Amino acid sequence: MRYSGKNIISIYIKKMERNEHYVKWRLTKCKDLDKLIKLNHKYDKYFMVSENENSNHHYQGMIKIKTKKMCKSKNIVDNFRRKLKESQDLGGNKDFSVGEITETPEVYIRYLCKGDNEKKEPNVIINNILLETEVTLNHHKYWEINKDLKTTDAHRKYNKIKEYEISQEMLEKLKNADELIWTMKIILYHDSKNLLIPDAYSIKKMVNTYMIKDLNGNEKLNCAYSMALDIFPGYRTL
C-alpha cells in the first residue's frame, strides 16, 4: 500500500497516543516531603532526587505511567500537574514545573543522576528504576558526555539557552507553543549576558535548530516534516 504525505503524518500523530507515558517534574517549594513521596509512589516507576541543598534547593524527578487505554501524554501531564499542586497546597505555578519527557527516559534519568557536581553523586530520595551501581554509572556517564558537549561554543550556548528557566506561569501561558518558549529563552539569555539580541531572522534559524536538536524519534520526524512544509508549502495538499 502506498501512503501520501498526509496519510503518513496522520499515522505519526496517531502514534503520539500511547499507553506508556514519562513525565518529568521539578519542585522548588516543597511544603510536605512525605506527601510528595507518597504521590510518586502511586505510579508504576519513579525516580526522585534532592538537588542544590546548600543553595537553590529543589526536588526533581520523573515518573512512568502506564494506562490501560491509549491516550495523549498531555492529559497525563496535566493530571499529574494538578495532583502535584494539590499535594503541596500550591496557589500558583511559579514554584514547580511538570512536562512530558521529550528526550528518551534513559537520557533524562542520566540527567537526574548528575548530582550537584562531577565529584558528588546524586542524593536519591526514592527510586525503583535503577540499581545503586547503575545510579553511579549514570552519574559518571552524564559528566563524561557533558564534557564532550562542551568542547565547542555552539554546544555550550545551546545547553545554557535550553536550561534558562522561565516561570511556570509563563510556561502555562505558552503551553504547546514551543517556538515561542525557545524564542523567549534566546532573547532572555542574550539579555542576561548583556549581549546583542539577534535579529528576527537569526532567532528563527536558532529556534529551528534547537527544536529539532531537542527531539527524538517520531517527534523529531514530525518537527522536520512541519519545517519542510514551511519551506515548500505547495506540498501541503498531499
> In the prediction, which pLDDT does 15 show?
45
Q: Is 121 contained in some domain? A: yes
Q: Indicate if the pLDDT at residue 4 is higher than 80.
A: no
Indicate if 94 and 131 belong to the same structural domain. Answer: yes
Q: Is 119 exposed, middle or buried (0-12, 13-18, 19+ CB in 10 A)?
A: exposed
- pLDDT average, residue stretch 88-109: 86
Reported pTM: 0.59
Give the list of residues 6+ apart from residue 132 with CB closer than 8 angstroms, or none. none
> In the listed set 92, 116, 148, which residue is the last one of a domain according to the structure?
148
Instruction: Considering only residues 73 and 129, tell me which one the structure prediction assigns the higher pLDDT.
Output: 129
Compute the average pLDDT of residues 160-169. Answer: 84
| Residues 112 and 56 both lie in one domain | yes
| pLDDT(145) > 60 | yes
Identify whether 117 is part of a domain.
yes
Q: What is the CATH number of the domain that holds 61?
A: 3.30.70.240
Residue 115 region by backbone torsions, left for phi larger than 0, else alpha for psi between -120 and 50, else beta: left
Q: Which of 70-74, 83-87, 116-120, 204-208 has the lowest average pLDDT?
A: 70-74
Tell me, yes or no, whether 159 lies in a domain.
yes
Average pLDDT (154-174) is 81
Q: Tell me, what's the pLDDT at 150?
A: 58
Specify if 218 maps to a domain: yes
Instruction: Read off the C-alpha cell for 151.
Output: 568542547
Percent of the chain with pLDDT over 90: 38
Q: Is residue 6 part of a domain?
A: no
CA dihedral 33→93→61→186, nearest 10 degrees, is -150
Residues 188, 178 share a domain? yes
Mean pLDDT, the chain, whole residue set? 84
The DSSP code for 23 is E
Q: Write out the three cell numbers for 59.
A: 526536588
* Domain boundaries, position 198: 150-238
Q: Express each pLDDT in 10-69 by its tens digit.
A: 434 344 566 889 999 999 889 999 999 999 999 999 999 999 877 778 999 999 998 888
